[in-house]
Amino acid sequence: MKNLSDLHLSKHIGQWPISGQKLKQTALFLASVAFLFFIAEFIYAVTSYTLPFKPVPAESMTVPPISKAGLEPLETFENKLKSRNLFFSSVKETPAVITAAGIEEKVKNLSLIGIVATGEPEAIVKDTALNQTYFLKRYQKLRDLEVKQVKTNSIVLKSGKEEKEIFLA
């Protein structure tokens, strides 16, 4: 026995001007065209990525003129960058001058805030009076204080014959 929906569909199909066979042929034709289009697009995509690009002759390119007014040569900027330490303040630029005093007086405003242990140990020392931070290695000087030793949690500073060890804060 036929389904009710099949009867309803067959009733309407008989009224259409094309037969079921024509409908199948039309669907097959459209599927074939879509498949051929897909194949053509696939071949185009593969060949466009595998074939080398064509060079463009330099004569066909136009480059706008560049105004050089006010431009400095590159070497000027390279020299400026080489002469500056971009990340840390330089020890040489400290404006304060300490008069002859004991080492206790010279280190009273200094605090050790860190130790950089990678490679050669480096102490991070802050001068609280000037609000400046210094990165110091062994034998470097901070004003008239010399770094005698950088330990894992302290730094030994020397002034003349006097020495003072400052520990991490």
Q: Which residues pair with 49 in a beta bridge?
A: none
Please report which confidence band the pLDDT of residue 3 belongs to, taking 50, 70 and 90 as the band edges: low
Phi and psi for 85 in degrees, rounded to 5? -100, 110
**CB 116 within 8 Å of CB 122:** yes
| Predicted local distance difference test score (pLDDT) of residue 81 | 76
Report the pLDDT value the prediction gives residue 98, as an integer from 0 to 100: 44
Structural domain boundaries in the chain: 4-50, 89-167
Mean pLDDT of the chain: 79
In 24-88, where do the E strands start and end?
A: none
Domain spanning 89-167, CATH architecture: Roll (2.30)
Lowest model confidence (mean pLDDT) among 47-56, 80-89, 97-106, 119-128? 80-89
Q: What is the reported pLDDT for 89?
A: 55
Range of lowest pLDDT (11-15, 20-24, 79-83, 158-162) = 11-15
Q: Which of 122, 115, 110, 94 is nearest to 166 (CA)?
A: 110
Direct distance between the N- and C-terminal alpha carbons of the chain, in angstroms, rounded to an integer? 96
* For residues 19-34, average pLDDT: 89
